[in-house]
Structure 1
């Protein structure tokens, strides 16, 4: 059975709620959700599938609970040619295009640099347009699961 690690960056719980709902809907795959992930947690999926679900803070930054993983991946730069990934980025476009979904954009770019393979394009969800991110994310996630 395929495995999926879902790694969450959340400040107020929206990304965490979305991750839990999506994980519950993934009945055909072994899914584990990580709120305070370590590099070891992430590297346990180097030959499997990962999904980053992150809100964006401040000036387009990665939330504090996910930032240590991002920094560790940057610093240690483990090559991940067997890993497949997806990114769901939560943001608010009213803060400006350069900040919108910044955390997700940063993770997306880093994983590509590490050699991981995107399963499909990143999903950016604008809180100013979509008040319930699950309504937008569920269809994207269903396609993601079908492709892995």
Structure 2
């Protein structure tokens, strides 16, 4: 059994809905899931497994509720060497900066020595009106990698 910390970053709530939905799937598979919407660094354990679900805001920016976390990681030069993570981006391919936030998050995580489990998924809301559906299929594969 693995403890998974699910971190969501959302402007309009879609990433929060996806995070909550995936928590149920992860728990059905015999793991534990703790969902944190826009946590501060001090709320997180810098070990274990994180699943980051983020929408993209503005011109490829992190949602307002995730910006403080990644600013704190940068400012403190936090070592994430003991963190393994998965990454889910939600956005619209109608924008040049499609899923830009999850790309930024992925670079920051790797730059602070975290190890990504599997490949990330970028969910296009123009193709998937309900982003929970492709996220659910992806997470089932991701869980098998734990």
Higher strand share: 2
Unaligned segments of structure 2, at least 5 residues: none
1:101 equivalent in alignment to 2:103: no
User: Normalization by structure 1: what TM-score?
Assistant: 0.93
Unaligned segments of structure 1, at least 5 residues: none
Alpha-carbon displacement from aligned partner over 1:75-123 (angstroms, at most 9, x marks no partner): 1121122211011000111111xx1101111001110011111101110
1:47 equivalent in alignment to 2:53: no
Q: Corresponding residue for 1:110?
A: 108
Alignment of 1:62-101 (within 5 A): 62-96=62-96, 99-101=97-99
User: Normalization by structure 2: what TM-score?
Assistant: 0.94
Partner SS, residue 34 of structure 2? strand
Partner SS, residue 64 of structure 1? coil
Alpha-carbon displacement from aligned partner over 1:3-43 (angstroms, at most 9, x marks no partner): 1111111111111011101101112111100013010223x
Q: Corresponding residue for 1:138?
A: 136
Shift of 1:144: 1.4
Q: Corresponding residue for 2:60?
A: 60
Partner SS, residue 26 of structure 1? helix
Runs of 4 or more, structure 1, over 2 Å off, are none
Shift of 1:66: 0.9
Q: Corresponding residue for 2:24?
A: 24
Q: Corresponding residue for 2:119?
A: 121
Partner SS, residue 4 of structure 2? strand
